[in-house]
Amino acid sequence: MADRIGDPTVVADNVHLTYRVHGASSGKGSATSAFSRLVTRKKAAGVTEVHAVRGVSFVARRGEAIGLIGRNGSGKSTLLRCIAGLLPPTGGKIYTDGQPSLLGVNAAMMNDLTGERNIVLGCLAMGMTKQQVAEHYDEIAAFSGMDNYNGKDFTRLPMRTYSSGMAARLRFSIAAAKSHDVLMIDEALATGDRDFQLRSEARIRELRKEAGTVFLVSHGMKSIRDTCERVIWLDAGKIKMDGPTEEVVAAYEKGV
Amino acid sequence: MANSAQADTVPAGGPSADGGGIPLAELAARHNLSVSGARPKLPAYIRQLWQRRHFIVAFANAKTRASYATARLGQVWQILTPLMNAAIYYLVFGLMLKSDKGVDNYVAFLVTGMFIFTFTQSAVLAGTRSISDQLPLIRALHFPRACLPISFTIVQLQQLMISMVVLCAIVLGTGEPLTANWLLLLPALLLQFMFNVGLSMIVARIGAEITDMKQLMPFLLRTWLYVSGVFYSIAHFAKDAPDWVRWILEANPAAVYIELARDALVESHAHVPMHTWALAVGWAFVVGVGGFLFFWQAEEKYGRG
Ligand SMILES: Nc1ncnc2c1ncn2[C@@H]1O[C@H](COP(=O)(O)OP(=O)(O)OP(=O)(O)O)[C@@H](O)[C@H]1O
Ligand SMILES: [Mg+2]
């Protein structure tokens, strides 16, 4: 593998993101009102702008696990969605190596399907071959713990019957089955219990050894300390501090 | 990735400061990084899509099963629904609205038209929602988004297979003979499937960009149903109309595929001219390929917002 520890995987160059919020347009209604909205092209009253990310620049490298901390609404999730390519930055550029994967808070994927189907479909969607799926299936089911949860095989039940922590476990297990160049975890592990947090932290360390980059958003400073050696502190859309975990977390905890 | 190894022998990026003083854009270029969220080139996109072919089929199978798993009677609905539809349309258009329709076997005529139109109609309805209803999946995993409208059209194809058994039984029941002509149904349905895939990709993009589309679609589809000659014979109905009106009505893709199916199944139905087949092939390719290109052009935007 030519990819080496230390090569950049994500380069953010003065990234800005502004949300444009269109009043109270609910997008529901009768055919006639929908039609008149289309014809008149009228935007529902009042456009408000939310400047969520304001000029963020950093370089992330292979083998790094970077913690992202900051108050609610400081722009952490928004920044990750920009990196994942789900939101186009309104200013600046983001360069990535390969396709970053984002694990968000809402952990469900295909709610009406069983855990088993979610595993198979999730792996196929990530680009695995049928054979690779067969190889990884038991590992994923076992890692998530869904194959024997309180003595019941939950892989046979639809995902809508899972608790939020169980859904998060399954989704992390699916995503982690593949090695990623860039994996971003946005509070997806927060609902997991102690046992699963330990297991997922071990998996994150493995991913780093495979020369990937991991971003972790969490309000739990313990899991940040346990997994990351570098932390970026976002405040009101700007980087307030970027450095070794101990320094940044200490400053953050003093400031809060 | 060979390039990034080479680039590393140049300044090495400097372990201390980020980027070691090199402008960030240049650093990114040096390590062969690509702009995040950019749309893949067409050949690469097609390759990715081909790689996901098992996903497309598995997703369709899972969706079909799940849609019936919640209903008590389960898979029986797959047969009951088209049967009940046929019964209602016979009641309304066959018995209550008695008029000269210029059709010999009206039941077979109506049921065939209805089932064929339903195939396109349900593909369009499912296509409109295929992106907007799958946002959690789109935001969770990366795969070419065209998988979704294609997959949902395959769900409709599976549905159609079952409807076709019922349709053939009804047509035979009305006294039509089983002839070699029935084999023509296969190429006709294949072309219609291609057309449906393209059309569902078009409405998938529109539905993803304009949420109001979901409300408008049933209304548009009903209008399309009325002009497609499902309840009446276009040739008979428009025999006094100017040529261009008849021509437009007959070139309507839904009418084209319906006529082909009737030609295959109903013996008393007038044989379709060769240019109807040409139209069927033309619509399949133009809409199939055009819809795919149209969908691909917004690939990077699905799931945003
Ligand atoms: N879809 C949206 N439309 C408009 N504004 C939004 C949207 N999503 C987030 N914002 C705004 O952007 C800002 C940053 O939000 P973001 O979700 O990135 O915060 P966060 O750091 O992830 O917070 P938390 O710790 O609560 O998860 C907030 O002010 C929020 O109101
Ligand atoms: Mg957040």
Give the integer Cα–Cα distance in Å for A94 and A82: 8
Q: Whose CA is nearest to atom 3 of ligand 1?
A: A19
Work out the pLDDT band at B272, boundaries 50, 70, 90.
confident
Place of tokens 């008979």: B236
pLDDT in tens, A136-194: 999 999 888 888 777 788 888 888 888 888 888 888 888 888 888 888 888 877 778 88
Cα separation values, A183 from A107, A164, B170, B177, B303, Å: 15, 21, 55, 62, 18
pTM to 2 decimals? 0.82
How far is the alpha carbon of A25 from chain B, nearest alpha carbon, in Å?
10
How far away, in angstroms, is B27 Cα from ligand 1 center?
A: 30
Backbone angles phi, psi at B68, to 5 degrees: -100, -15
Which residues contact residue B238 at a Cβ distance below 8 angstroms, ignoring those fewer than 6 apart? B245, B246, B249
Query: CB contact, 8 Å: B26 with chain A?
Result: no
**pLDDT reading at B12 higher than 50:** no
The confidence score (pLDDT) of residue A186 equals 87
Asked if the Cβ–Cβ distance from A27 to B212 is below 8 Å, we say yes
Q: Please, which residues 46-65 of chain B have a Cβ atom closer than 8 Å to chain A?
A: 48, 51-52, 54-55, 58-59, 62
The confidence score (pLDDT) of residue B6 equals 35
The confidence score (pLDDT) of residue B20 equals 55
Indicate the top mutation candidate among A16, A78, A189 to test ligand 1's pocket, ranked by most ligand atoms within 8 A of CB. Answer: A78
- The total domain count for chain A is 1
Q: Please, which residues 143-172 of chain B have a Cβ atom closer than 8 Å to chain A?
A: 143, 147
Query: Greater confidence, A76 or B142?
Result: A76
Which residues contact residue A251 at a Cβ distance below 8 angstroms, ignoring those fewer than 6 apart? A233, A241
- Closest-CA residue of A relative to B25 is A13
Backbone angles phi, psi at A65, to 5 degrees: -115, 120
Please give the share of chain B, as a percent, with pLDDT higher than 90: 41
Mean pLDDT calculated for residue range B154-167: 88
* Chain A contact set for B38 (CB, 8 A): 85
The confidence score (pLDDT) of residue B251 equals 92
Residue A61 carries which side chain, given as an amino acid letter? R
Give the integer Cα–Cα distance in Å for B245 and A118: 50
- Range(s) of the domain holding residue A8: 2-13+56-255
**pLDDT reading at B156 higher than 70:** yes
CATH number at residue A82: 3.40.50.300
Query: CB contact, 8 Å: B10 with chain A?
Result: no
The confidence score (pLDDT) of residue B7 equals 34
Structure token pair of residue A53? 């990310």
Mean pLDDT calculated for residue range A121-133: 90
Q: Which atom of ligand 1 is nearest to the CA of A76?
A: 21
Q: Is residue A91 part of a domain?
A: yes
* Chain B contact set for A83 (CB, 8 A): 36
Please give the share of chain A, as a percent, with pLDDT higher than 70: 88
Nearest alpha-carbon partner for B119 in B205, B207, B189 = B189
Hey, which bits of chain A come out as E strands?
8-22, 47-61, 65-69, 91-96, 101-103, 182-186, 213-217, 230-235, 238-244
How far away, in angstroms, is A83 Cα from ligand 2 center?
A: 14
Q: Is residue A187 part of a domain?
A: yes
Q: Whose CA is nearest to atom 19 of ligand 1?
A: A73
**pLDDT reading at B144 higher than 80:** yes
* Chain B contact set for A59 (CB, 8 A): 13, 18-19, 24, 27
> From the list B13, B55, B305, which residue is nearest A124 (CB)?
B55
Cα separation values, B288 from A55, A182, B184, B194, B226, Å: 43, 35, 21, 6, 24
State the CB neighbour count (10 A cutoff) for residue B3: 11
CA B141-B147-B152 angle, to 5 degrees, is 115
**What are the sequence ranges of the domains in chain B?**
1-33, 40-301
Work out the pLDDT band at B9, boundaries 50, 70, 90.
very low
Indicate the top mutation candidate among A17, A18, A19 to test ligand 1's pocket, ranked by most ligand atoms within 8 A of CB. Answer: A19
Q: What's the mean pLDDT when you consider all of chain A?
A: 84
Q: Whose CA is nearest to atom 26 of ligand 1?
A: A72
Q: Is A196 exposed, middle or buried (0-12, 13-18, 19+ CB in 10 A)?
A: buried
